[in-house]
Copies of this chain bind each other. A is one copy, B any other.
Amino acid sequence: MELFALKGFNSTSVADLLSRTQLNSGSLYHVFPSKQDVLIGVLEAYRDGIEAMLLTPAWGGVADPIEKIFALLAYYRMGVVMTDCTYGCPIGSLALELHEPDPPVRDLLAANFKAWTAAVERCLDEAGDRLPANLDRDALAQFVLTTMEGGVMQARTHRDVVYFDRAVGQLRAYFEFLQSDARTKRRAKKGAS
């Protein structure tokens, strides 16, 4: 996970993997028939570890569902800052690096995105009537991921976290509009009833 996140898949050699894991060629290949199988193992680990490795640390002490969404983004921000804007989202990086991934790899990338947006969607559901009733929660959850990935990409490229912050700031503004809209509609409904 560490090496693929740091250098990507193609730029990580099997020799790198052996050196980092202190394994010998025979041992690694005994478990993983090919380098791609290591990638599959890594993507499965991310998918299965989203709760323990991402959501739990990101949401420590945060109860409000909408703030949980921004806490998730803040957690990625921390990753960006701590690595001097060289690291972003390992899944996103792999998704763009591998142009024509084999189906098992592509499916796992998609599964990782799905797990991520599903977590956000649960927050949106929890937010209840603070958001408009007619809101497409699926689309908004995806849009949060869109913002994170696009923001991370620009922060990395410019080596400046402000590009991430500005993306999140715009998303925050959008959420404010949505909440304000929900309030207006609630009042109108009350008045009409």
Residues of A within 8 A of B (CB): 6-8, 10-11, 86, 88, 92-93, 95-97, 99-100, 106, 109-110, 113, 136, 138-140, 142-143, 145-151, 153-154, 156-159, 163, 166-167, 169-171, 173-174, 177-178, 181
Contact = CB atoms under 8 A, between A and B. Distances in A.
A139 B170 contact: yes
Determine which residue in A99, A151, A159 has the highest number of CB atoms from chain B within 10 A of its CB, and name it: A99
Contacts of A174: 170, 173-174, 177
A96 B86 contact: no
A73 to B, nearest CB: 12
Most buried by B among A142, A146, A167: A146
Contacts of A110: 157-158
A67 to B, nearest CB: 20
A181 B180 CA distance: 11
Contacts of A138: 166
A167 B170 CA distance: 14
A94 B169 CA distance: 26
